[in-house]
């Protein structure tokens, strides 16, 4: 007879600053979140993820191991972070083949975007549905598959 394994993890070994808001159901384990963060329902945040202060993560988002997200970021609904590039034609269970993703400060990522292992600088907007396959080193708006610069963000433009 086969075995049925149930996993009911919600919050396990989570380190966080003050005023963390989470909406269940969700899975968060082995991660670190800053102050005043928000995590919506149906989100998974895995081991060794670090999330900066005042960052919001909307529903149905998956943040895999080896991801760092800066402060004052907005991660839209259904955003997928990827750490395994399937270099051997299939998923690799060995973490030594996984790659890191670093998201700067003041970055907004639109709903259903896919973020491969890349570095994204500060002050970037990634459009909904975009697929980021290469490092983003210049502030601006990025859209498409693969994501390309649509336009630069003008210095000094900040929300009221």
**Is 4 among the domain residues?**
no
| Predicted pLDDT at 133 | 97
Tokens of 136: 């983003």
**Is 131 among the domain residues?**
yes
**Based on the structure, what is the number of domains in the chain?**
1
Q: Which residues of 67-92 are buried (b: 16+ CB within 10 A; e: fewer)?
A: bbbbbbbbbbbbbebbbbeeeeeeee
**Is 1 among the domain residues?**
no
One digit per residue, pLDDT tens: the chain, 160 residues?
667 655 555 889 999 999 999 998 999 999 999 999 999 999 999 999 999 999 999 999 999 999 999 999 999 999 999 999 998 999 999 999 999 999 999 999 999 999 999 999 999 999 999 999 999 999 999 999 999 999 998 766 555 4
Domain housing 102: 11-151
| Predicted pLDDT at 11 | 84
Tokens of 145: 């598959």
With a CB cutoff of 8 Å and minimum separation 6, the contacts of 94 are none
Determine phi and psi for 8, rounding to 5 degrees: -120, 25
| Predicted pLDDT at 118 | 98
Tokens of 55: 């960052």
């Amino acid at each position: 007879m086969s075995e049925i394994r149930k996993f009911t993890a919600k919050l396990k070994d989570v380190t966080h600053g003050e005023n963390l808001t989470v909406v269940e159901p969700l899975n968060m384990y082995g991660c670190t979140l800053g102050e005043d963060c928000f995590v919506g329902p149906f989100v998974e945040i895995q081991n060794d993820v670090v999330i900066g202060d005042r960052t919001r993560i909307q529903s149905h988002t998956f943040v895999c191991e080896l991801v760092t997200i800066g402060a004052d970021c907005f991660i839209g609904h259904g955003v997928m972070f990827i750490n395994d590039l399937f270099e051997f034609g299939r998923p690799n269970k060995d973490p030594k083949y996984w790659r890191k993703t670093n998201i700067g400060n003041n970055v907004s990522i639109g709903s259903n975007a896919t973020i491969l292992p890349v570095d994204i600088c500060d002050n970037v907007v990634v459009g909904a549905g975009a697929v980021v396959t290469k490092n983003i080193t210049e502030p601006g708006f990025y859209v498409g598959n693969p994501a390309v610069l649509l336009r630069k963000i003008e210095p000094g433009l900040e929300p009221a």
